[in-house]
Amino acid sequence: MKTFIISALISAMALSSTNAVSANDAHSNESVSPKNIIMIVGDGMGPAYTSAYRYFNDNPNTPQIEQTVFDRTLVGSSSTYPAPVSGYITDSAAAATALATGVKSYNDAIAVDVDKKPVLTVLEWAKTQGKKTGVVVTSQINHATPASYLAHNDFRRNYNAIADSYIDDGIKADVLLGGGWSYFIRKDRNLVDEFKLAGFHYIDKYSDLTNLPANKPVLGLFDKKGLPWALDDTNKHRLSLMTKAAIKQLENKQGYFMLIEASQVDWAGHGRDIAAAMTEMDDLAKTLEYLEEYVTKNPDTLVVLTADHSTGGLSIGRKTGASNKDIRSTYLWQPQILRTMSISPKAFATEFSKTELTIQQVNELLNFNISNDDMNELVKSKKMGVDSLNKYNSLSLSQQKNKWRPNVNGPILITIKNIIDKKTNTGWGSISSSGTHTAIDVPVFSFGAHSEKFKGFQDNTDIAKKIFTLLDKK
């Protein structure tokens, strides 16, 4: 009965996606499916991010603006809206559910429909087809996107329950790489030990990725929650490092399905942090470049990349010469300082909050020069943070109970990001300090076997439906 239900579901999905596949694809529809399918989600990566990366990546010593891997592999676009109950703007959970299952759901849903009933995911289906499966992310591995491929839950922030389901509902992945110590090693339960008992090799350092035992499932957790910003991490291309290791571990005669997520593009958008955003994009670009080489050697592999939504309302350009004395051109975006930064704004704010720095030391730390006015703003923001903390500490315990404990870093972080935005002329659509999601269509990139199926405009659910159809072919 279960087999019949799954087969019926796949047949229905194949029929519903017919209109999204052009007549030119008729021949490939009849051919053998890809042996390996790699699905990549650039979380929050709307079209402004890939455009900005082109200019960030540009070699200023050449007259042309060089194409990036995103330019080479762009094939179409996708709508992202969730189920009507949640309006037009999706969150990561509903979007990942659409990409993983082909079903629209409400914001916060993890692979359940609007009635909160579990829906089959492409990763689960790949597993039933005898393929190995893997998940590689820069967030915690039980965050919204990976969870929507691996679990079923009615609320995305049930992090412990989602982590528990990775064992309790049957282990569905052969490789799990990302962050998440705090959810997998808890006082009430040690899921890492349970994975070990199930035969998994556990690692917690990037250096361990180079010496994995062959033909053994792997769980790798490299931080408490999400990984550090690429700007601050010990390996600035940790997504590509994990991807290479995962592929080596997953390769087999039956093939594999792997989800990769550049999770922190979204976090940078929420933080309105263009410096962090560009280095997260660079990590994703290096991953995609590696996969281009991999597909050349393994042409039976399909790679599909899209975003779940766009975050922050990123604008490549903010003010003009008529509205800002610091801008010398009517239209301008200047990513030069972003190329030289070696520390994230968050890490800088932490250092500035605990150390008395001169302007020269600040310039050295940031790897670009700020003005005296900028320095004065940083000093003022630090005083604001200290004053807020002192005021909080002067309250009684009962008075503190219903208040947030101020963070000295907070005002400094806002100030340094504003300085960077002013110097680069970067704009953000959100009026709050936390950038929101937007409902704009997102780009779709694809290469390898059957990549032509993803050309043109489609809905995010169509991507899952096409993958289901390809996985169903023998």
CB 14 within 8 A of CB 472: yes
What is the pairing mode between strands 310-311 and 301-306?
unpaired
Q: Which residue has the tokens 């700007």?
A: 231
What count of other Cβ atoms lies within 10 Å of the Cβ of residue 323? 8
**Whether pLDDT at 116 is above 60:** yes
> What CATH number was assigned to the domain covering residues 2-19+28-314+444-471?
3.40.720.10
**With bands split at pLDDT 50, 70 and 90, how would you rate the model's confidence at 328?**
low
**Whether pLDDT at 424 is above 50:** yes
Active site residue 434: no
Residues 6+ apart with CB under 8 A from 348: 365, 366, 412, 416
Give the C-alpha separation, 224 to 44, whole Å. 22
DSSP 8-state secondary structure symbol assigned to residue 304: E
Tens of pLDDT along 360-417? Answer: 999 999 999 999 999 999 999 999 999 999 999 999 998 898 889 999 999 999 999 9
Which among 47, 17, 36, 68 has a CA at the least distance from the CA of 259? 36
Tens of pLDDT along 65-97? Answer: 999 999 999 999 999 999 999 999 999 999 999
Which among 107, 123, 106 has a CA at the least distance from the CA of 115? 106
* Dihedral angle computed from the Cα positions of residues 375, 409, 326 and 431, in that order, rounded to the nearest 10 degrees: -160
Mean pLDDT of 412-437: 89
Q: Which of 20-34, 66-80, 246-260 has the lowest mean pLDDT?
A: 20-34
CB 111 within 8 A of CB 456: no
DSSP 8-state secondary structure symbol assigned to residue 262: E
DSSP 8-state secondary structure symbol assigned to residue 235: S
Please give the backbone phi and psi of residue 125, each rounded to the nearest 5 degrees, phi first: -65, -40
Residues 6+ apart with CB under 8 A from 198: 167, 171, 217
Q: Following DSSP, what letter does each residue of 72-90 receive, concatenated?
A: HHEEEEEE----GGG-S--
**With bands split at pLDDT 50, 70 and 90, how would you rate the model's confidence at 25?**
very low
Q: Which helix (DSSP H) or strand (DSSP E) does residue 459 occupy? A: strand 456-459
**With bands split at pLDDT 50, 70 and 90, how would you rate the model's confidence at 21?**
very low
Q: Which CATH architecture has domain 336-424?
A: Orthogonal Bundle (1.10)
CB 17 within 8 A of CB 450: no
pTM, full prediction = 0.93
Q: Following DSSP, what letter does each residue of 158-213 receive, concatenated?
A: -HHHHHHHHHHT----SEEEEE-HHHHB-SS-BHHHHHHHTT-EEE-SGGGGGGPP
Give the C-alpha separation, 28 to 16, whole Å. 18
The per-residue pLDDT for 94 is: 98
What is the pairing mode between strands 442-448 and 74-79?
antiparallel
The per-residue pLDDT for 74 is: 98
140 three-state secondary structure: strand
**Whether pLDDT at 434 is above 80:** no
Mean pLDDT of 227-248: 98
The per-residue pLDDT for 326 is: 67
Q: Which of 126-135, 180-189, 424-433 has the lowest mean pLDDT?
A: 424-433
Please give the backbone phi and psi of residue 445, each rounded to the nearest 5 degrees, phi first: -125, 145
Mean pLDDT of 299-310: 98
Tens of pLDDT along 31-48? Answer: 678 999 999 999 999 999
Domains of the chain by residue range: 2-19+28-314+444-471, 336-424
**With bands split at pLDDT 50, 70 and 90, how would you rate the model's confidence at 319?**
confident
**With bands split at pLDDT 50, 70 and 90, how would you rate the model's confidence at 297?**
very high
Tens of pLDDT along 165-178? Answer: 999 999 999 999 99
Structure tokens at 362: 């600040």
CB half-sphere exposure, 343, CA atoms < 13 A: 17
**Whether pLDDT at 184 is above 60:** yes
The per-residue pLDDT for 435 is: 81
**Whether pLDDT at 457 is above 50:** yes
Q: CA-CA distances (angstroms) from residue 141 to 78, 135, 148, 178?
A: 25, 8, 11, 6
Task: Catalogue the long-range contacts made by 395-401 (C-beta closer than 8 Å, 24 or more residues apart).
Answer: none
What is the pairing mode between strands 256-262 and 36-42?
parallel
* Dihedral angle computed from the Cα positions of residues 458, 137, 103 and 152, in that order, rounded to the nearest 10 degrees: 180
CA 122 to chain centre: 18
CB 272 within 8 A of CB 313: no
Which among 10, 120, 82 has a CA at the least distance from the CA of 461? 82
**Whether pLDDT at 276 is above 60:** yes
**With bands split at pLDDT 50, 70 and 90, how would you rate the model's confidence at 5?**
very low
**Whether pLDDT at 12 is above 80:** no
The CA-based angle 93-20-110, given to 5 degrees, is 15
DSSP 8-state secondary structure symbol assigned to residue 20: G
Strand partners, 265: none
Q: Tell me which of 17, 33, 78, 92 is the catalytic residue.
A: 92
CB 303 within 8 A of CB 72: no
Structure tokens at 424: 């680069």
**With bands split at pLDDT 50, 70 and 90, how would you rate the model's confidence at 2?**
very low
**With bands split at pLDDT 50, 70 and 90, how would you rate the model's confidence at 280?**
very high
Structure tokens at 459: 């809905």
Mean pLDDT of 203-210: 97
The per-residue pLDDT for 23 is: 31
Mean pLDDT of 102-126: 98
Mean pLDDT of 43-69: 97
**Whether pLDDT at 1 is above 70:** no
Strand partners, 437: 311
CB 458 within 8 A of CB 19: no
The per-residue pLDDT for 331 is: 85
**Whether pLDDT at 320 is above 90:** no
332 three-state secondary structure: coil
The per-residue pLDDT for 28 is: 42
For the chain, what is the mean pLDDT? 92
